[in-house]
Every structure is written in C-alpha cells, then in structure tokens.
Structure 1
C-alpha cells in the first residue's frame, strides 16, 4: 500500500524543519510515519489505535528522550 498524499509535520516543528518526522493518516487502517529528509524512503506503519496511544503518552511526558 502506498500512502503519498496528506503528509504533514507537527505545527511545533516550524516551517523550515527538514529534520522532523511526517505523519499521514489518510488511510483508515494505517498511520504512516516517515523522515522529512527522505520522502521517498521507508515508511513506518502503525495501527491507528496504537499510534493514538503513542501520541497520548508523549503528550503526558511518559516517553524517555534519548
């Protein structure tokens, strides 16, 4: 499955951020995540509920930074 439209970065990334991740949730059964520097490169695919749990944990500060 190729998901090419609808990619976006967080509004907190800033307009000139080329070193971010992009998200695409256009498909109902998958959330795509890719490196903004390598748009033709690999994409990670997550189930929507799993991705939502990840985002919620990040917002709560439950993820360790490396």
Structure 2
C-alpha cells in the first residue's frame, strides 16, 4: 500500500468523528490529482486519513484495523 499525504486524527465521540473525518477528507481531496483517499480506523478514537495510490481517483475507501 502506497500512501502519500497522511493526517492522523483523534476523536472524542461519534458526532465529532464524522465531522473531523469529513473535514480531513475534504482537505486531502484538494491534493488528490491521480489517487483516492484511504481512511483507516486504528482504534475507536484514532483514524488515519491518507492519499493513496492504491485507491482509484475519486474514491474514498475505509479500512478498519479493529
């Protein structure tokens, strides 16, 4: 798996999780010219949002490590 830009976020609750994931995805989407976005759930409060050449352009995929 090849990731380029990556942002790690910590969330406190479900509502803030959804908001922060959407905001972070929007931020990275600006730089996604030929790749997609991979959202990885590391644990219940930690998520990594990254540009990934393994994800087709225009798509966002989720990976849960729990």
TM-score, scaled to structure 1 = 0.31
Structure having the higher Rg: 1
Choose between structure 1 and 2 for higher RCO, CA contacts under 8 A separated by at least 6 residues.
2
